[in-house]
Structure 1
Amino acid sequence: MGIGRARALRARIAARRAVMVVLVTAVVATTGGCAAPSVDSGAGQASEQAPTTSTAPMVPTSEPSGADDLARFDGVNRGVIAADESPGGFAFVDALAEAGFDRASIEVTADTTTLGERADSIQFAVRVDDRCLIGQYGEGSDGYRSMEAGVLGTGGCLVGAAVASGG
């Protein structure tokens, strides 16, 4: 197998892995009695929130909860993308923290694969109260995507390994 084909295969595998992270998060959130996820494909937003009975500690936010948080999250992330078409994960972390989201509540995946290649998409999330605002950006995700979901049983928002956000 040639080097180009091997890279293309690794890119497809990484893209599928990234999509699976988002899908597993959505499945866990919806089967756990949490909020149903809403997907933002850039053309519009749909959000439906189911009541939850979480006893998780509340994370303060400077904005009202609900759709306002997701809209603010999307606005910040789109600003990062407008400033740099290939931002790393920490560009999103820094911008979200500057916008008032709690840095300790932000999670992000690695910018590189286990093989040392640039990841074709990255995921980042912020825990706000008993909800997670989840974003994904990169070639493998066909641009920017976002959703709101419930907090996982682990107390986090992303499935799998996340890198420290500096919080």
Structure 2
Amino acid sequence: MTSTRLGRLPASLLIIAAGAVALAGCTGTTPAPSLSPSPTVVVSDTPSATPTPTGPALVPEGSADDNLPYFAELVAQVWNGGDRVSGRAYVDALVAAGFDKSAMQVTADQSTVGNPAESIQFSVRWGQECLIGQVGPATGNPVSIVAEGLPDGGCLLGRTRTIDW
């Protein structure tokens, strides 16, 4: 039946119909696109090298002089931050970097009449010596030094505040 119906169609429709059949036949013979293999992941049990620090670092068995570059770098980092005139910020940064809080002293952030201190000092006792930092508007750039410790075991003269946090 189908052939008889096709026979009665105009020639142009027969050509279109033949083309459609030919194209339909081609779709079945077109090879499927090849898939590229997935990437291979290699897992190694060998640890990778740990990067070497490029700046100063804490030297627990070293002298105060050995630790001065690290101390000074930490002081400069806090000075360049938002809490540059907060003694607690310096103490907290030094503790986070590995210095012993129980060996520290810090002066008050405010004068006796409540004005901001013109300078703040903080220290870390290191054996018989002290790492001492001083910052504040009257100081200009931060100062970090090594000095002999005081006979009473402290580093700073005068009134200091209790580090109770």
TM range (shorter): 0.5 to 0.7
Secondary structure of 1:143's match?
coil
Measure, in 1, the Cα distance between the counterparts of 2:64 and 2:123.
15
1:156 aligns with 2:154: yes
Which protein is richer in helix relative to its size? 1
Measure, in 1, the Cα distance between the counterparts of 2:107 and 2:161.
6
Structure number with greater CO (CA < 8 Å, separation at least 6) is: 1
Q: 1:138 deviation in Å? A: 0.6
Closer/same/farther in 2, CA of residues 117 and 146 from structure 1, 3 Å limit:
same
Q: In the TM superposition, what whole-angstrom CA distance separates every residue of 1:12-52 from its partner, at most 9, and x where no partner exists?
A: xxxxxxxxxxxxxxxxxxxxxxxxxxxxxxxxxxxxxxxxx
Q: In the TM superposition, what whole-angstrom CA distance separates every residue of 1:114-160 from its partner, at most 9, and x where no partner exists?
A: 01101011000100111101110011112211211111122100001
Measure, in 2, the Cα distance between the counterparts of 1:100 and 1:110.
23
- Of 104, 107, 116, 2:105 maps to 107
Aligned counterpart, 2:74: 76
Aligned counterpart, 1:135: 133
Closer/same/farther in 2, CA of residues 78 and 134 from structure 1, 3 Å limit:
same
Measure, in 2, the Cα distance between the counterparts of 1:165 and 1:137.
18
Measure, in 2, the Cα distance between the counterparts of 1:85 and 1:66.
25
- Of 59, 65, 68, 1:67 maps to 65
Would you identify which runs of 4 or more consecutive aligned residues in structure 1 move more than 3 Å? Answer: none
Measure, in 2, the Cα distance between the counterparts of 1:143 and 1:90.
18
Measure, in 2, the Cα distance between the counterparts of 1:136 and 1:71.
15
Gaps of 5+ in 1: 1-60
Greater Rg by CA: 2
Aligned counterpart, 2:84: 86
Structure 1 length normalisation: TM-score?
0.60
Check whether the contact 2:106–2:122 (CA below 8 A) recurs between aligned residues: yes
Measure, in 2, the Cα distance between the counterparts of 1:97 and 1:77.
12
Aligned counterpart, 1:26: none
Aligned counterpart, 2:144: 146
Considering only aligned residues, what root-mean-square deviation do their CA atoms show, in Å?
A: 1.7
Q: Size of the alignment, in residue pairs?
A: 107
Gaps of 5+ in 2: 1-58
Check whether the contact 1:107–1:125 (CA below 8 A) recurs between aligned residues: yes
